[in-house]
Amino acid sequence: MARSTRPTIADVARAAGVSRGAVSFALNGRPGVSDRTRARILRVADEMSWQPDHRARAMRVQRAQAVGLVLHRSVDTIADDPFFASLIAGVEQVVSRHAWSLVLDVVADDDEERATYERLARERRVDGVVVSDVRVDDPRIGHLVALGLPAVTLQRPTTPSPFPAVRVDDDRGMRAAVRHLLDLGHRRIAHVAGPAWLEHGLRRRRAVEAELAAAGLAPHAVVESDFTAAAGARATAQLLDLAEPPTAVVHAGDPMAVAGLGVAHARGVRLPEDLSVTGFDDVELAGHVHPPLTTVRTDSRAWGAGAATALVDLLARRAGGDDALGGEEHDVHLPPPELVVRGSTAPPGAAAT
């Protein structure tokens, strides 16, 4: 455990017979040293397996070379919703390519969330953050502005935000799912929604309503849920208990939809003859349950990657002296999600025909 022998830039400089400054120049590829000296310095540094101490450098250049991601959901939801893992993976992919780091925090409530952002900003652990699960009237936007912590949001918040957003046209996918059911002949279409206080929960619900309205219909019923399988199961049970149950249910998330299939199955409802079901996200399991789930394929990893890229770009602009935060003109638009038709949807009463 050769803890004491970790070389510093001074050791490298001495070994190479140059000044510390020269080593720094050589390492960072800037003019000031001849090619021969540069090569020698780099060789020596490599031999000593020296790399600059990230902290010392960060302190000097006033940049952490790290981005933060603060996830605010119960610890359980995080495990149950594959979305987060994909998001993290996407962010990480970009961040690591730049030799930056991802600092991750999971918080349980609003207070902890505030405190965490404050800590990240004050301690300067990160240069900026990715804001996910944007809420309706999201208080974090103002908070981050006040803290002076640059950010990128996933979707554009409903309230004005000075930060760039990574946008994807969820609506299109949701409407495609409803359209698909309408085309199959369904008229009693229910929706199991995400929480209305989440921007994407609300947005997806509006999309369902809009597409139905375009066909002169209204949702047969809307049950607000929270994206978990347990809540999805409850919601489906509730819908099946209606005097006049729906013939199709559009879910705002796959785990809810899969649980819905399970409940229907358990009650002897024939799938998809008696009930058509759609999901949202296309998690890996979606194609492997029975009947395989018709769902909307999103690319959460691309979302994470897009957000990280936007953030890195934003920070680069700021490092270049541009104090602006970017705003809408730097929004990144991702390709809209597409409907994946599988076996969980069919014309209503298909078996009866």
Per the CB < 8 A criterion, the answer to whether 200 and 155 are in contact is yes
Using CB under 7 A, which of the segments 18-26, 93-101, 140-148, 290-298 binds DNA? 18-26
75 binds, among DNA, its own copies, none (CB under 5 to 8 A by kind): its own copies
Tell me how far apart the 2 most distant CA atoms of the chain are, in Å: 89
Which residue, chain included where needed, has tokens 């919703």? 81
Binders of DNA in range 53-82 (CB under 7 A): 53, 56-57, 59-62
**Cβ atoms < 10 Å from Cβ of 202:** 18
238 binds, among its own copies, DNA, none (CB under 5 to 8 A by kind): none
262 is an interface residue for its own copies by CB under 8 A: yes
What is the rounded distance in angstroms from the CA atom of residue 254 to the CA atom of residue 279?
5
10 is an interface residue for its own copies by CB under 8 A: no
Per the CB < 8 A criterion, the answer to whether 192 and 175 are in contact is no
DSSP state of 285: G
Given the complex with DNA, which of 268 and 321 has the nearer CB atom?
A: 321
Question: In the stretch 52-71, what mask flags binding to its own copies with x, by CB under 8 A?
Answer: xxxxx-xx----x-x-----
43 is an interface residue for its own copies by CB under 8 A: no
313 binds, among its own copies, DNA, none (CB under 5 to 8 A by kind): none
Binders of its own copies in range 139-198 (CB under 8 A): 145, 148
Look up residue 286 and give its two tokens: 């979606």
Given the complex with DNA, which of 23 and 240 has the nearer CB atom?
A: 23
185 is an interface residue for DNA by CB under 7 A: no
301 binds, among its own copies, DNA, none (CB under 5 to 8 A by kind): its own copies
The beta strand positions in 45-94, using DSSP E, are 66-72
- What burial letters (b/e) apply to 328-352, b meaning 16+ CB within 10 Å? eebbbebeebebbebbbbbbbeeee
341 is an interface residue for its own copies by CB under 8 A: no
- Residue 72 neighbours by CB under 8 Å, 6+ apart: 106, 107, 108, 109, 110, 113, 133
Residue type for 31, please? P
Choice from 15, 52, 114, 185 touching DNA (CB under 7 A): 52
* Distance of closest approach, residue 229 Cβ to DNA, in angstroms: 45
- Strand 295-297 relative to strand 338-340: parallel, antiparallel, unpaired? antiparallel
Binders of its own copies in range 83-102 (CB under 8 A): 84-86, 88-90, 92-93, 96, 99, 101-102
Q: Which residues bind DNA (CB under 7 A)?
A: 6, 8-10, 17-25, 27-28, 31-38, 50, 52-53, 56-57, 59-62
